[in-house]
Amino acid sequence: MKIFYLLFAFVLLPSLCASAQYRAGETIYHPDKQFSHWEIAAAWEGSSSEISLTNGSTSSDGLHGISSRVLYYPFRAVAVGVEGTYFHEQSVRPLIQSYRASRLGVVGKFHLSVDTNPRIYLVAGAGQTSHRLKYISLFEGLDTTKDIFYGMFGIGTEITLYRSVFMLLEGRALYNKHTQLSRFYALTKRWESSARIGLGARF
Q: What is the DSSP letter of 5?
A: H
Give yes or no for a contact between 110 and 76, defined as CB atoms under 8 angstroms apart.
no
Phi/psi at 168 (5° precision)? -120, 150
How far does CA 33 lie from the centroid of its chain?
A: 31
Rounded to whole angstroms, the Cα distance separating 187 from 123 reads 24
Please report, in angstroms and rounded to a whole number, the separation of the first and last CA atoms in the chain: 33
Burial class (CB in 10 A: 0-12, 13-18, 19+), 51: buried
Give yes or no for a contact between 129 and 100, defined as CB atoms under 8 angstroms apart.
no
Q: What is the DSSP letter of 135?
A: E
Q: What dihedral do alpha carbons 1, 195, 126, 35 form, nearest 10°?
A: -160
Burial class (CB in 10 A: 0-12, 13-18, 19+), 139: middle
Q: How confident is the model at residue 33 (pLDDT cuts 50, 70, 90)?
A: low
102 has a pLDDT exceeding 60 = yes
Compute the average pLDDT of residues 56-74: 89
172 has a pLDDT exceeding 50 = yes
> pTM here?
0.80
Identify the sign of the CA torsion 139, 176, 188, 69: positive
The DSSP bridge partners found for residue 137 are none
Give yes or no for a contact between 189 and 179, defined as CB atoms under 8 angstroms apart.
yes
For 193, left (φ over 0), alpha (ψ -120 to 50), or beta? beta
For the chain, give every domain's residue range. Answer: 2-16+36-202
50-59 confidence digits (pLDDT tens): 998 887 666 7
Compute the average pLDDT of residues 90-114: 92
Q: According to the model, what pLDDT value does residue 92 have?
A: 84
Q: According to the model, what pLDDT value does residue 201 have?
A: 97
194 has a pLDDT exceeding 90 = yes
- What share of the chain in percent tops pLDDT 90? 65
Distance set, CA 28 to CA 22, 64, 159 (Å): 8, 39, 17
Q: According to the model, what pLDDT value does residue 137 have?
A: 82
Give the residue, 31 or 117, on which the prediction is more confident: 117
Give the residue, 169 or 55, on which the prediction is more confident: 169
Compute the average pLDDT of residues 6-22: 46
Rounded mean pLDDT of the chain? 85
Give the residue, 128 or 11, on which the prediction is more confident: 128
For domain 2-16+36-202, the CATH class is mainly beta
- 3-class DSSP assignment, residue 144: strand
Give the residue, 39 or 11, on which the prediction is more confident: 39
Q: According to the model, what pLDDT value does residue 76 have?
A: 93
Compute the average pLDDT of residues 103-120: 95
Compute the average pLDDT of residues 24-48: 75
Compute the average pLDDT of residues 33-42: 90
Q: According to the model, what pLDDT value does residue 191 have?
A: 97
Pick from 130, 125, 107: which is nearest to 178 by CA?
Answer: 130
